[in-house]
Amino acid sequence: MKVHNFSAGPSILPEEVMQQAAKAVLNLNETGLSILEISHRSPEFLAILAEAKSLVLELLDLPQNEYKVLFLQGGASMEFLRIPMNLMQKGGKAAYLNTGTWADNAVKEAKAFGEVIEVASSKDMHYSYIPKAYTIPDDADYFHCTSNNTIYGTQMRSFPETAIPFVCDMSSDIFSRKLDFSQFDLIYAGAQKNIGPAGTTLIVIRERILGNPKNGLPNIMNYQMHIERESMYNTPAVFAIYTSMLTLRWIKKAGGIAAMEARNNKKAALLYEEIDHNPLFEGTAAKEDRSLMNVTFRLKDANHTEAFDTLCKTYHISGLKGHRTVGGYRASLYNALPVESVQMLIEVMQQFQRSHS
Ligand SMILES: *Cc1c(COP(=O)(O)O)cnc(C)c1O
C-alpha cells in the first residue's frame, strides 16, 4: 500500500535511502556488522562521517577552509541554547527576528544569557507573514532568524544584510532551494525534516566567528570542543548520521539543490493553485511569504472536517493535520515527497469539492 506521507517531522525519506538504511541495519557494507552495533570510532563510521561532512559543504557550496560541519544531539532546540552560550559576549546582546513558535522559543532561551532585541515580530498576526522592515543593531553579538516557519507555513524569500554574525535556523528548508549560503555564519537544522531520521542536528559554522573560548562553558555546549573532537566529543548518533549521509548522496545524485528546488517549486505551485481555486479551502499564510515546504490551509467550513479527513484516509493521505497549536491542515512537501503525492492530494480536494458544493 502506497501511503502519501505529508508529515512535518519526522518526515518522509527517499525510498532508495530507506532501502539502503534497512540493508545497513542487517549488514553494513558487507562487514557482517550492523550500523546499529559498530563503534563510532571504527574506520567504517569515520568514513561515513567524513563523507557526510564533505557532502554538506559541497551541496551548500561553502569553502572547506572556512566552515566546519558538526552533527550533534539535542535537536534544533539544543542549539537555541548553544548559540547564545557560544556567541553572546558577557553582558552582551543578540538580535532576533520572531517569525514563529520556533523563533519564539529561540528568543526565550537566549534571554537566559543576555539581552535579546526582537527586531520585529509577526506574533500579533498569528505569525501569518514575515516582517520585512526592521533594523538590525550593529552592536549586537549576532542576528538570528528562521528561514522557514514549519508550523505557520511562511518562508523568508530574502535575507537582510548585516555585518554582525548571521545565524539561521534552517531546520525545515535546508537543501530545498538555492541560496547564497555564504551570507550565513552559522546554519543549523534538526535532521528529521529534510535530511534524515530524528536524532542528530546538522550545524555548519564559519569557524572564525567563535573567537576565543569562553570561560566556564560546559564542554558539551562548546562548539569549539565539538570542532576539535570532530563531532566525537561523545558518542554521535551513528544511525541518524549514516542515514543523513545517504540522503545527501541522493540529493547529489539527483542534481543537487537546484534539482530539489525545481521539483519543490512545482509541487508547491500545484498545491497553492488548488487551494486558491477550490472554493472549499483557503490558505492561511500571506501569499508573498508562502512556504514551499510546509503548505498551511484550512476548510472554510469547519463542519466539513470529518468528511474531508475520512476521504484523505481512504486515499492513504497521511500526516496532513496542522500543528496542534494552530489546527487546520499542513502539507509538508519536503525534498523526498514525490510530485505524485501532491497530485493525489489535489485529486482528493477536487473530489471533495464535487461532492460538497
Ligand atoms: C522542528 C523545528 C525545530 C525543533 O527541532 P527539534 O529537533 O525538535 O528540537 C526548530 N526549528 C524549526 C524551524 C523546526 O521546524
Active site residues: 102, 169, 193
Give the pLDDT of residue 2: 86
pLDDT in the model for residue 269:
98
Q: What is the pLDDT of residues 221-232, one digit of tens each?
A: 999 999 999 999
Q: Residue 235 annotated as binding?
A: yes
State CA 180 to chain mean position distance. 17
Residue with the nearest Cα to atom 13 of ligand 1? 171
pLDDT at 138: 94
Q: Please, are residues 239 and 199 in contact by the beta-carbon 8 Å criterion?
A: yes
Residue 319 Cβ contacting ligand 1 at under 6 Å: no
Q: Ligand 1 pocket, 151 CB below 6 A?
A: no
Mutate to test the pocket of ligand 1, among 172, 324, 332 (most ligand atoms within 8 A of CB): 172
Q: Does the beta carbon of 9 sit less than 6 angstroms from any atom of ligand 1?
A: yes
Give distance in angstroms: CA of 301 to centre of ligand 1: 31
**pLDDT at position 357, please?**
75
Task: Give the chain's mean pLDDT.
Answer: 97
The closest residue, in CA terms, to atom 3 on ligand 1 is 76
Residue found under cell 538590525: 136
- Check residue 216 and give its pLDDT: 87
Position 324 scores a pLDDT of 85
Q: 305: annotated binding-site residue?
A: no
Question: pLDDT class for 76, splitting at 50, 70, 90?
Answer: very high
pLDDT at 327: 87
Q: Which residue lies with its CA nearest to atom 11 of ligand 1?
A: 102
- What is the 19 CA–ligand 1 centroid distance (Å)? 26
Ligand 1: which of 78, 109, 148, 171 to mutate, most ligand atoms within 8 Å of CB?
Answer: 171
The reply, when asked if residue 41 is annotated as ligand binding, is: yes
Residue 226 to residue 304: CA distance in whole angstroms: 51
Ligand 1: does its nearest atom lie under 6 Å from the Cβ of 188?
no
Which residues contact residue 87 at a Cβ distance below 8 angstroms, ignoring those fewer than 6 apart?
Answer: 94, 141, 142, 165, 167, 186, 209, 210
State whether the beta carbon of 10 lies less than 6 angstroms from ligand 1.
Answer: no
**Cα separation of 246 and 254, whole Å?**
12
Grid coordinates 514575515 are at which residue?
130
Q: Is the per-residue pLDDT at 90 higher than 90? A: no
Is 202's pLDDT higher than 90? yes
C-alpha cell at 158: 530574502
What's the gap in Å between 102 CA and the centre of ligand 1? 6
* Per-residue DSSP letter, 299: E
Cβ atoms < 10 Å from Cβ of 311: 17
SS3 call for 304: helix
Asked if residue 160 has pLDDT above 90, the reply is yes
**Which letter does DSSP use for residue 132 in this model?**
-
Regarding the beta carbon of 105 and ligand 1, being less than 6 Å apart is answered no
* Ligand 1 geometric centre to CA of 189 (Å): 7
> Is 165's pLDDT higher than 90?
yes
Mean pLDDT value across residues 181-188? 98
Distance from the CA of 209 to the center of ligand 1, in angstroms? 23
Calculate mean pLDDT across residues 36-47.
Answer: 97
User: Given this model, what pLDDT does residue 58 score?
Assistant: 98
pLDDT band at 26, cuts 50/70/90?
Answer: very high
Going by pLDDT thresholds of 50, 70 and 90, the confidence category of residue 211 is confident
305-331 residue pLDDT tens: 999 999 999 999 999 999 988 889 999
% of the chain residues with pLDDT over 90: 95
What is the mean predicted confidence (pLDDT) over 159-177? 98
Tell me the domains of the chain and their CATH numbers: 15-254 (3.40.640.10), 255-356 (3.90.1150.10)
330 labelled as ligand-binding?
Answer: no
For the segment 78-103, the average pLDDT, to the nearest whole number, is 96
What is the spatial distance between Cα 170 and Cα 174, in angstroms, rounded to a whole number? 5
CB of 173 within 6 A of ligand 1: the answer is: no
Give the pLDDT band of residue 252 (cuts 50, 70, 90).
very high
- Helical packing angle, 305-314 and 339-356, nearest 10°: 140
pLDDT band at 348 (very low <50, low <70, confident <90, very high): very high
φ and ψ at residue 221, rounded to 5 degrees: -95, -5
Predicted local distance difference test score (pLDDT) of residue 215: 79
Q: Over 90: is that where the pLDDT of 213 sits?
A: no
Give yes or no for residue 240 CB within 6 A of ligand 1: no
Q: At a CB cut-off of 8 Å and minimum separation 6, what does 23 contact?
A: none
Q: Indicate whether 297 pLDDT > 80.
A: yes
Range of lowest pLDDT (19-33, 116-130, 209-223): 209-223
Looking at residue 196, its pLDDT comes to 97
Looking at ligand 1, which atom is closest to the CA of residue 151?
15
**326 CA → ligand 1 middle, Å:** 16
